[in-house]
Structure 1
């Protein structure tokens, strides 16, 4: 009788461990989005006596599907011992600015609200996402950054838009983003 109870308990723990492992793997899988962002700089915001400080970090990332567009975002990074070993859950305050940095060329058809970039913001459940859309009427790419959790998301977000303009004198033909949205 006792061995059956222990066996059921072990089976539950094993199932829980498998579920956590699967969830961790799912969270760690890269999105069909941009590579790792480039760290531009960090600034300390809160001094910690015996562990790393809280910081603001600014990153740059190129849109993997739209050549000629780059986004920069600033995120808070928790210090302390939990932040140091990667166990701190980061807050959802993220700012975003996207700009045209060259002639815009669409590499493929896109969907409204596609992930352009995704990054984990806590050990298991929270991630930051930059999504892309097209305002076809104005020929403007629109980028939104937000943070979500498996159970509940955050209404905190930031939006940036990139009007598609001619670039240089040789490039007179401007692509229309509406032609590349499915």
Structure 2
């Protein structure tokens, strides 16, 4: 009975606390630390296709904690990640989008920490920027990484 309640609370917390990532595809992972019990620690690479900017895809690598707690989804993954965004076809300048918008979010712990990707627009240079941060602050500012996608010039 107690295990059922704990499981229900953890499931509810996971569903309520996590914002689902849009158009996420797991590309692969590489084990980094062997764990005798549970999954190994690893670096995971996911692809996020921007739903509002066709042909813009971001590849995000992040550390995933293994072991028993990681296998059960209870471990807090480290705030270590990188982002590389690319044009996978012609990218039109997104005129009607806001200058800054959160476009993806992925839970890195059961309750509090998320990996978040923001889209920013450099209107002067017609470049779409993507910033990945951790929602948990570390020593005053979040870990972060940035990437840019140039748009395809339109004919005059």
What TM-score comes out, normalization by structure 1 length?
Answer: 0.71
- Cα distance in structure 2, aligned partners of 1:120 and 1:24: 8
* Displacement over 3 Å in runs of 4+: 20-26, 105-108
C-alpha deviation, 1:110, in angstroms: 1.7
C-alpha deviation, 1:137, in angstroms: 1.1
1:26-105 alignment to 2 at 5 Å? 26-30=16-20, 34-35=22-23, 37-105=24-92
Residue ranges of structure 1 left out of the alignment (5+ in a row): 1-19, 167-171, 175-182
Larger Rg: 1
Does the 8 A contact of 2:38 with 2:70 survive in 1? no
SS at match of 1:83: helix
- Cα distance in structure 2, aligned partners of 1:138 and 1:122: 37
Does the 8 A contact of 2:93 with 2:151 survive in 1? no
- Cα distance in structure 2, aligned partners of 1:62 and 1:45: 27
- Cα distance in structure 1, aligned partners of 2:125 and 2:57: 19
After the TM superposition, which of the residue ranges 81-90 and 44-53 deviates more from structure 2? 44-53
Aligned CA-pair RMSD: 2.4
Q: Of the candidates 135, 151, 163, which is equivalent to residue 150 of structure 2? A: 163
C-alpha deviation, 1:113, in angstroms: 2.2
- Cα distance in structure 1, aligned partners of 2:22 and 2:131: 15
**Which residue is equivalent to 2:4?**
none
- Deviations for 1:33-63, whole angstroms, at most 9, x for unmatched residues? 623x111111110011222110001111110
Structure with greater proportional helix content: 1
What TM-score comes out, normalization by structure 2 length?
Answer: 0.82
